[in-house]
Structure 1
Amino acid sequence: MQVESGAVADADSFPQERLTRRIFRDETLLVLGLSLGASGVSALISFVGSVTKPGGLKDQAATMNASAAPGRPWLDLAWQLFGIATALVPVVLVAHFLMRERESLRTLGFDRTRPWPDLARGAGVAAVIGSFGIAFYLAARGLGANLTVVPEALPDVWWKYPVLILSAVQNAVLEEVIVVGYLLRRLGQLGWTPGTALVASAVLRGSYHLYQGIGGFLGNLAMGVVFVWLYRRWGRVGPLVVAHSLLDIGAFVGYALLAGRVGWLPTA
């Protein structure tokens, strides 16, 4: 027992690593390389493939939430849950990096200290952006600047809607914690101006939606500008996570319920 106590004491007395700009830069590149930065590169490659393919963009489909094991629902469910869980690992990495500064995700406003204001603000933002978003998507597709987005292509099984909701929340947590809260904090620590950091965050958000087409890029670029402005105004990513979750739930579940039943909603 004495040896163990001594070992703990030695570990506690170990000097803290001095966090320099180089460390902040490297860890930011690591987080983005494992998450949405890599998604941006993937989306760019996908977009190049789409624009160089014969036919117009609107005649091609960008499918999200597709089946991972067609005809095998339990295996499919396992893959869906695995994908959702592993996609959140970069958020855990962000939390770890913040701990080295003696901070936490609460520093970014991602906690449960203000649930009702976060829900109210998030719902309001989702209502406004959702209305404009649908109109913008339909216009962009009509002009041939967007692929036909298929938000879900899961089989009609009992877990379909719970998985779609979990997928929406996962997207929201991953994107708002990393692209808004964490990235803006790190860019500020690296000496970037507020305006430059806003542009970087918005362009990154647009980049990983480029697989949907020019409309997907521009629409999410604009959303990125609004979300950065709101984050700086409120000092919390909580409302943004709520708004993004509601937007994606509306898109995923709404498509599942309405596709093929209403004439205004494009389908592949």
Structure 2
Amino acid sequence: MTLIPAEEKRGYQLELLIVFSMTLGLSGLRSLVRLIDSLLQPTPLNQQSVAINVPQARADLLDLVAQLLGVLQLAAWGGIGLYLLWRTGIKLRVIGLDGTRKLADSLGALGLAAIIGIPGLGLYFAAWALGLNLAVQPSTLDNQWWMSVALILAAAGNAWAEEVLVVGYLITRLQQLGWRQYTALFAAAVLRGSYHLYQGFGGFVGNVVMGLVFGFYWQRTKRLWPLVIAHTILDVVAFIGYTMLRGKVSWLP
């Protein structure tokens, strides 16, 4: 990977600051504030709850429009990262967003989803039982006709924004700035954990681990599609699965 000339480094550092102050870095700070607020409450963390996908408007169609606008924002966040990389000569194939390895990317995605999904679920329940995590409600949307489609799109939007920005864009830029490979990997993983702090300490640790695994996979393969697809699968299972099981099983917080 070509290093950025010393005289241009400040401009790229400013670019990173601007991008993440508008996107996931700001989300991380807000998430930290929400966690501190939860810790200051007299109620233990595991007796508090937090919802991810919530109604945005009282009118049914307005709620749908608001949900879709949220997906559009996530798509734009990922687009910002891709555009800035493209402007500096880094094409889609360099970070692994081309369509040349569809089967291998799909198999890699399934493997990543299995590696992260099952242990991640166990970590969540353990952290919740120990009082280190809030009860996370992946969706509180009612049974509108568009609910499943909106949740699938939200899952894809989350995956796109996070993997493009936190892996493809951030790790690339940090390594161009001269950061060591594993230092860049760790920084990206901590950022990923930071914007999940609103869920509690389990959410932070689980997403740091996910960031390390996903980032390491990308550094070794330079294929980003498996990360996007795996992340989408994980979120679809969480969002739709929770909606189907809510109120029907006793073990679900």
- TM-score of the pair, normalised by structure 1: 0.89
Contact 2:218 2:224 in 1 (8 A): yes
* 1:110–1:177 CA contact under 8 A, matched in 2: no
What CA RMSD, in Å, does the superposition of the two structures yield over aligned residues?
1.4
1:193 to 180, 185, 209: 180
Aligned to 1:263: 250
Following superposition of structure 1 onto structure 2, how do residues 127-142 of structure 1 map, counting pairs within 5 Å?
A: 127-142=114-129
8 Å contact kept, 2:82–2:169? no
Amino acid at match of 1:27: E
Separation in 2, partners of 1:48, 1:250: 29
AA matched with 1:189:
Q
Q: Is the 8 A contact 1:108 1:177 kept in 2?
A: no
Q: 2:15 aligns with which of 10, 27, 31?
A: 27
For 1:246, the equivalent position in structure 2 comes to 233
SS in 2 for 1:264: coil
* Structure 2 counterpart of 1:158, from 142, 145, 158: 145
Question: SS of 1:253's equivalent?
Answer: helix
Rg: which structure is higher? Answer: 1
| Count of residue correspondences | 248
Q: Using the TM superposition, give the Cα deviation of residue 104 of structure 1 relative to its aligned residue in structure 2, in angstroms.
A: 2.7
1:1-268 paired onto structure 2 within 5 Å: 20-70=8-58, 72-266=59-253
Structure 2 gaps, min length 5 = 1-5
Cα deviation for residue 48 of structure 1 reads 0.5
Moved more, 21-30 or 242-251: 21-30
- Kept in 2: contact 1:105–1:111 (CA 8 A): yes
Q: What letter matches 1:204 in structure 2? A: L
Deviation at 1:19, TM superposition (A): 8.4
Contact 2:31–2:196 (8 Å) recurs in 1? yes
What amino acid does structure 2 have at the position aligned with 1:213? G
Q: How far off is 1:103 after superposition?
A: 2.5
Q: Deviations over 1:159-209 (max 9, x none)?
A: 000000000000001101111111111001111111211110110011000
CA displacement, residues 101-145 of structure 1 (integer Å, 9 cap, x when unaligned)? 222333211232222211111011112211111111001000000
Amino acid at match of 2:177: L
Runs of 5+ consecutive residues of structure 1 not aligned to the other structure: 1-17
Mapped to 2, the partners of 1:233 and 1:99 lie a distance apart of 21
Residues in 2 aligned to 1:210 and 1:37: alpha-carbon distance in whole angstroms = 12
Whole-angstrom CA distance in 2 between matches of 1:214 and 1:116: 36
TM-score, L = length of structure 2 = 0.95
Tell me which amino acid in the other structure corresponds to 2:178. Answer: G
